[in-house]
Structures are given as C-alpha cells and as structure tokens.
Amino acid sequence: MNITEMTALELGAKIKSGEIKAPDAARAVLDEIKKKDPYYSGGINAYIITLENEAIKRAEEVQAMIDAGELEDSPLAGVPIAIKDNICTKGMKTTCASKILGDFKPPYNATVIEKLNAAGAVIIGKLNMDEFAMGSTGETSFYGETKNPWNHERVTGGSSSGAAAAVAACEAPCALGSDTGGSIRQPASFCGVTGMKPTYGAVSRYGLIAYASSLDQIGPVAKDAADCAAILDIICGKDEMDGTSLDVEHKSYLDSLSGDVSGLKIGIPRQCFGDGLNADVKAAVLGVAETLKSKGAETEEFDMPLIDYAVPTYYIIAAAEASSNLSRFDGVKYGFRADGFEDLTDLYMKTRSEGFGEEVKRRIMLGTFALSTGYYDAYYKKALQVKALIKKVFDEAYEKYDIILFPAAPTTAPKMGESLSDPLKMYLSDIYTVSVNLAGLPGISVPCGFDKDGMPIGAQLVGAPLGDSVILNAAFAYQQLTDHHKKPAEKFGKEAE
Ligand code: GLN
C-alpha cells in the first residue's frame, strides 16, 4: 500500500517496525501535496502553508529518537499531521485564513502542538479554513476556497475545510481542526472522512485563536475512528493555561476501542429526520442504526424538542463572543496594518475594514448589536437561557440513551458559490451540529454512504458529557463492519468513471 493511503496508526506501526522511515513518510506526503494542492493550477488548496524543510528536518530528529529506543509508547511517532491555521505554531506563520493576521508568527505553541511534538508527530503544514473559522463551506478564506476532493465543483464544508480535504485527498494521514458549531464534523461528512469534536474542555484551547470561546474545541480529523482515538489520547487533558480544560481520569481512548456495542442504547430523535433532510442522507444515517443493531445495539426513536431553536441561539452567542474576541485585531498588535490613517480611530477603522472579509464583518456587527445596551436582554441573555434549555433536553435524553444518532448535515456538499449568496441558508445548514456545541457534548461524524451523485454522507454519533470513548467505540464498531471510510476520494472518483 502507498504510504499516503495508510491510516495514521498503520503508518505509525510501520515506522515503529522500521519498515518505513519517518523522513520518507514526510517526503511522500509532501510530494502528494505538491501534486494535488496548488491553487493556481486548479488544485485542492487544502494548505495555506506547507513546512517542507522543517518537516523533513523534524522527521529526521524523530527518526533518530526512535532509533535510540525513545517514543516507544507513542503510536503516532514519525507520522505527519497537518494543523488548521487557527492553531498557534511558534515561529511559523498562523493566519486564521484572514488578511488581518498578515505575516503573524506566534511567539508560542498551542498546548496541542506541544503535546503532538512530545509524542513525536511531524507537523507538515497549516491548513486552509473559513476566515476565523466562520463559515460552513470553506469559501470565506482569504487564501481562496478549498475544493472537495470527491468533486472539485463542490465545497468541502467548513470551517475546517483544509483538514477534511487534506485527509480525503491523502495529502495528510491526519489533521487537527477546530469545531465551534460543526466545523470538524460537517466538513468530515462532506469529504468522507472521520472527524470528532471532543467534550468541551477535554482538549486545551490554549493557543487556539478564539472565535467563540464557550463553544470552541480542537479535535481530530482522520480516516477512521481509531486514528481519532489515538490523536485524542495525545492532545487531551487538563492544562493550566486553559481554565476551562477538564481534569478527568480516563483510560486511553485507543485502548478502550473494543468494537463491542451489545446493549448500547441509541436514541434517534424524530425531529432530526423530518423536512429539509435529503432522502439519501436520511437513508444512509438510519442505515447506521441498523448496522449497529446487527451487533447488539438497541435503537429507539424519541422526541427532542427545541432543536429548531439551536441555529438562532448559536448564531447570537457565537457572534457575540466573536465580536469581543476579534476586537484585539486592531492594526496595532498583529500582522496587517492599513496605510494612510490619520489618527488612532482611523487606524482601527481602516485596518479592520481592509483586513476582515465580509462574513467576519457580518458576525462582528451582529454580535456587537446583540451585546449592546437595550438589546442584550432581548438577544444575548435570551440565547443563554435557550442554551441552558437545550442542554437540559440532551441531559434528559442521556438518562435513557448512551448515544444519540442523527446526520452531520442535512445534505451532501453543495456546489461552490451557492451558499455565499445566501448567508442565512448557510447558517440553517448547521442545524445538526450547533446544538452539540451549545450543550458541550462530544460528537463524531463517520462516513456512512454516498448520495446519487457519489458524494459522501456522514452520520453523527453524539455522546453524553465525557462520553468520548463511547462514541469513538461505536464509530469503531461501525467501521469494522463497513468500508465507506476506506474509499480514497480521487481513486474512488476515477474507478467510478
Ligand atoms: N458554520 C458555523 C459558523 O460559521 C460553525 C463554524 C465552526 O464550527 N467554527 O459559525
């Protein structure tokens, strides 16, 4: 098998056994990126920056450590990994796919990067995304849209567009994304890869450039659930630098994968399978329940009220927090500064007008409005109240079920350009993902089939708070019985022709 087609764990095992050398793995991935990614020759554009020399040098160092008998307990030592470009990497440009960050090079690493380094992973590049993680299609990047490897005319989903596309196109064995309202799970679903948002607080946010701090969470994007478990094992844990990170004892996520789902109670919320859901998506997602049932899981339909309120609630809270978080980009401290300003106010205005894209400005204005005196109670406070109610609905469901199953998105990947003209339509397409962030729950999207045009479909398994290993195990069990996650996008596309 070609190096770039292996899962991260397969590659890690071969590096450990000496069959493949870490620098060769890095070179193979970099070659694939050169072949498939360049934007100006019509490539996928999953990467904003590739770290050619740094990655090879680092792979050589890791190989020397492996040869010296170090990193024995690390299943991903020497494995290349790509990082969404809103995660700070010391001394390496970090852009959030925005003009406003210019050539900003963070003076520190995010905690997840420190942890990946300690585990011997090799960072291969920084991934494209919607600007400041705001978007559901990957089209709002200052660095150009990312193309869906299954069909270049379709979007990848967003905002972790590069993460999902890079893994789907075998331009990275695995990646880190971030998920505020679906940004890992929805692009994973559109690109036919596996993506997980851990429980809020399971992974440190230190060094993740904030969008909506109470919802943001870093998580893995990979070919399968076992890879996601291996990555989560590395990046999770309490961090003094993030007061919201959780201190919980748990077994290794990877070691907990038994594939045993007998007696697992799966709830299927009726409200998530009604109007507006594409028929192919509905059939494929319900098929997941049937497959898990054949292994002894039990399924039941139930009512999940309030789900219709999730999108408006999310967009008020996310925009409000974003308007505050993004106030630090003022032309003084970071990256880009506009020319020709007259005074300080003019500097702020010119820099922010020129530096932010349309969608980011829309969110800042919406958020500022929702937080302003007179409207705070009517919008922001109300949204927080509904958020609490949504959490309660989930809490009640988890008294009966171990997992809740619904789609990651109502459709497969739309055509490029369709959503940009109608932002409200784009927001509504987040219906299945945002409630999971509002309730702080873990969710994973697993490939579960294809629509009539051959585009991938993702099913979402959502767990109780800290039920990360429960959803990983259910996803793992499902992937042992199916092969939707094994079809590399472009190869499959060619075979299908
Ligand atoms: N599409 C959602 C938004 O634009 C989610 C983004 C995210 O999870 N970062 O807010």
Residue of the CA atom closest to atom 2 of ligand 1: 181
Query: What average pLDDT score do residues 120-142 get?
Result: 98
Q: Answer whether 159 contacts ligand 1 (Cβ < 6 A).
A: yes
- Domains observed in the chain: 3-262+468-496 (3.90.1300.10)
Q: In angstroms, rounded to a whole number, what is the distance separating the alpha carbons of residues 93 and 302?
A: 48
Query: What average pLDDT score do residues 13-24 get?
Result: 98
* pLDDT for residue 3 is more than 70: yes
Crossing angle of the two packed helices 468-481 and 225-235, in degrees rounded to 10: 150
What dihedral do alpha carbons 347, 353, 355, 361 form, nearest 10°?
A: 130
Q: Answer whether 143 contacts ligand 1 (Cβ < 6 A).
A: no
Q: Answer whether 180 contacts ligand 1 (Cβ < 6 A).
A: yes
Query: What average pLDDT score do residues 288-300 get?
Result: 98
HSE-CB of 369 using CA atoms within 13 angstroms: 8
Q: Answer whether 218 contacts ligand 1 (Cβ < 6 A).
A: no
More confident residue, 38 or 490: 38
The catalytic site residues sit at 84, 159, 183
Q: Provide the pLDDT confidence category of residue 491 given band limits of 50, 70 and 90.
A: low
Mean of the per-residue pLDDT values of the chain: 96
* pLDDT for residue 127 is more than 80: yes
Query: What average pLDDT score do residues 102-126 get?
Result: 98
* pLDDT for residue 494 is more than 60: no
Q: How many angstroms from the chain centroid is the CA of residue 275?
A: 26
- pLDDT the model gives residue 200: 98
Which residues, 6 or more positions from 155, have their beta carbon under 8 angstroms from its beta carbon? Answer: 137, 138, 139, 145, 146, 148, 161, 190, 413, 414, 415, 416, 419
Query: What average pLDDT score do residues 208-226 get?
Result: 98
- pLDDT the model gives residue 422: 87
* pLDDT for residue 409 is more than 80: yes
- pLDDT the model gives residue 250: 87
Instruction: Give the number of the atom of ligand 1 that is nearest the alpha carbon of residue 136.
Output: 1
- pLDDT the model gives residue 1: 81
* pLDDT for residue 193 is more than 80: yes
* pLDDT for residue 165 is more than 70: yes
Q: How far is the CA of 332 from the centre of ligand 1 (A)?
A: 27
For a ligand 1 pocket test, name from 87, 96, 130, 433 the mutation site with the most ligand atoms within 8 angstroms of its C-beta.
Answer: 130
Q: Provide the pLDDT confidence category of residue 421 given band limits of 50, 70 and 90.
A: confident
What tens digit of pLDDT does each residue of 335-378 get?
Answer: 999 999 999 999 999 999 999 999 999 999 999 999 999 999 99
Residue 484's nearest CA partner among 329, 273, 229, 291 is 291
* pLDDT for residue 239 is more than 50: yes
- pLDDT the model gives residue 495: 44
Residue 160's nearest CA partner among 208, 128, 112 is 128
What tens digit of pLDDT does each residue of 448-468 get?
Answer: 999 999 999 999 999 999 999
- pLDDT the model gives residue 128: 98
* pLDDT for residue 333 is more than 90: no
* pLDDT for residue 497 is more than 80: no
Q: Answer whether 318 contacts ligand 1 (Cβ < 6 A).
A: yes
Q: Provide the pLDDT confidence category of residue 30 given band limits of 50, 70 and 90.
A: very high
Which residues, 6 or more positions from 342, have their beta carbon under 8 angstroms from its beta carbon? Answer: none
Lowest-confidence region among 317-321, 329-333, 409-413: 329-333
Q: Provide the pLDDT confidence category of residue 93 given band limits of 50, 70 and 90.
A: very high
Crossing angle of the two packed helices 111-118 and 225-235, in degrees rounded to 10: 110
Residue of the CA atom closest to atom 10 of ligand 1: 134
Query: What average pLDDT score do residues 113-125 get?
Result: 98
